[in-house]
């Protein structure tokens, strides 16, 4: 073994902080080459347990009102405090991904939604997450700020607050949603949501 978990390449600091000791015997874990493994692994030299590190699944929705307006929330927690994002969070062990997306949306916005189709699946290795985003119909509840959101509001598809979005995965999901539902709007935006300059001006 050669390196500590904190020095492991590609592992976010928040995750590495929880990977110091073996969950079986309590001995220190170390990162390095192992027999019969093609890549370096985090393992316990005392009992031989290998702690495989996998990304966490984030389930989220793009809630759409009957009017066609999109619901976003201004985050009341880190990461991304004060910035705008779609509702979402980590999937719990006792729920399906679909159930988790509904729960997270209700917890963060006060709205009950019915996920309809997957907009996209987005991987951010540097954050150790895989994000699934569903388009969702708003079917009940009342939009309200919660313990996890400072504000919940609707945006028309052409008024998404691109410079104020919290996460790259939100930008990707909104781009994909616009390409599917509002290609005329999507065609006028660059990868960061900025409008292309008007060549006729």
Give per-residue burial for 60-70: e unless 16+ CB within 10 Å, then b.
bbbbbeeeebb
Are 5 and 16 in contact by the 8 Å Cβ rule? The answer is yes
pLDDT at res. 190 = 79
pLDDT at res. 189 = 83
Percent of the chain with pLDDT over 90: 76
pLDDT at res. 1 = 44
Q: Which long-range contacts (CB under 8 A, 24 or more apart) does 191-197 make?
A: 192/162, 193/160, 193/162, 193/163, 193/165, 194/162
**In the chain, which residues have pLDDT < 50?**
1, 197-201
Query: In the chain, what are the domain boundaries?
Result: 5-44, 56-185
| Residue 83: DSSP 8-state | S
**What's the pLDDT tens digit per position in 148-176?**
999 999 999 999 999 999 999 999 999 99
Identify the CATH assignment for 56-185 out of 3.90.79.10, 3.40.50.720, 3.40.50.150, 2.102.10.10. Answer: 3.90.79.10
Q: Interior CA angle at 49 toward 3 and 20, to 5°?
A: 45
pLDDT at res. 19 = 83
Going from the C-alpha of 119 to that of each of 16, 51, 133, 176, the distances in angstroms are 31, 32, 6, 7
pLDDT at res. 120 = 98
pLDDT at res. 195 = 66
Going from the C-alpha of 49 to that of each of 23, 164, 177, the distances in angstroms are 9, 44, 43
């Amino acid at each position: 073994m050669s390196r500590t978990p904190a020095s492991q390449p590609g592992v976010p600091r928040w995750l590495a902080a929880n990977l110091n000791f073996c969950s079986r015997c309590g001995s220190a874990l170390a990162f390095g080459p192992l027999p019969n493994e093609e890549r370096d692994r985090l393992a316990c030299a005392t009992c031989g347990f290998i702690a495989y590190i996998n990304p966490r699944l984030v389930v989220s929705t793009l809630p759409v009102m009957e009017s066609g307006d999109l619901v976003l929330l201004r985050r009341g927690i880190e990461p991304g405090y004060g910035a705008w994002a779609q509702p979402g969070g980590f999937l719990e062990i006792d729920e399906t991904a679909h159930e988790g997306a509904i729960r997270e949306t209700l917890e963060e916005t006060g709205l009950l939604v019915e996920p309809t189709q997957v907009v996209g699946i987005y991987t951010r290795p540097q954050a150790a997450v895989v994000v699934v985003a569903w388009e969702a119909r708003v079917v009940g509840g009342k939009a309200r700020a919660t313990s996890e959101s400072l504000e919940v509001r609707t945006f028309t598809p052409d008024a998404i607050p691109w410079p104020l979005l919290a996460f790259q995965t939100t930008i990707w999901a909104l781009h994909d949603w616009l390409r599917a539902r509002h290609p005329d709007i999507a065609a006028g935006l660059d990868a960061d949501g900025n409008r292309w300059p008007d060549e006729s001006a």
